[in-house]
Amino acid sequence: QVQLVQSGAEVKKPGASVKVSCKVSGYTLPELSMHWVRQAPGKGLEWMGGFDPENGETIYTQKFQGRVTMTDDTSTDTAYMELSSLRSEDTAVYYCATSPKFMVRGELATGFDNWGQGTLVTVSS
């Protein structure tokens, strides 16, 4: 069973960067496709990006292009999401979520069957 444990809440000033971690246990990172989803207060879920095994690369939504970087440390099975140039609208809970590596989209897709507990990032001056 996959378990995802995220780093703790963060408070940042506008213009700063934040780096959220997601520690995987039960499986190894190379066996999974890692994704990041955020949820602003009182709002819906927003997929930010994740690993696309069909392309063999990490895909970011256009909204976050140039501001977000998602990386993996396979030596510790920990994934990271760094968001830069923070603004107040980035205040949200950030979740990591996984699917089995080759079951991300298309006929084999099984959805995000494991989620971290969420990390609240507050951007305030």
Within 13 A of 74's CA, how many CA atoms are on the CB side?
Answer: 6
Question: How far apart are CB 106 and another protein at their closest, in Å?
Answer: 6
Decide: is 105 part of the binding site for another protein (CB under 8 A).
Answer: yes
Q: How far apart are the first and last CA of the chain?
A: 40
Question: How far apart are CB 117 and another protein at their closest, in Å?
Answer: 6
Residue 21: CB partners within 8 Å, gap ≥ 6?
Answer: 6, 7, 78, 79, 80
Stretch of residues binding another protein (CB under 8 A), selected from 7-15, 24-32, 77-85, 104-112: 104-112
Structure tokens at 66: 């140039």
Decide: is 80 part of the binding site for another protein (CB under 8 A).
Answer: no
Residues contributing to the site for another protein (CB under 8 A): 35, 37, 44-47, 50, 52, 55, 59, 61-62, 95, 97, 104-107, 109-113, 115-118
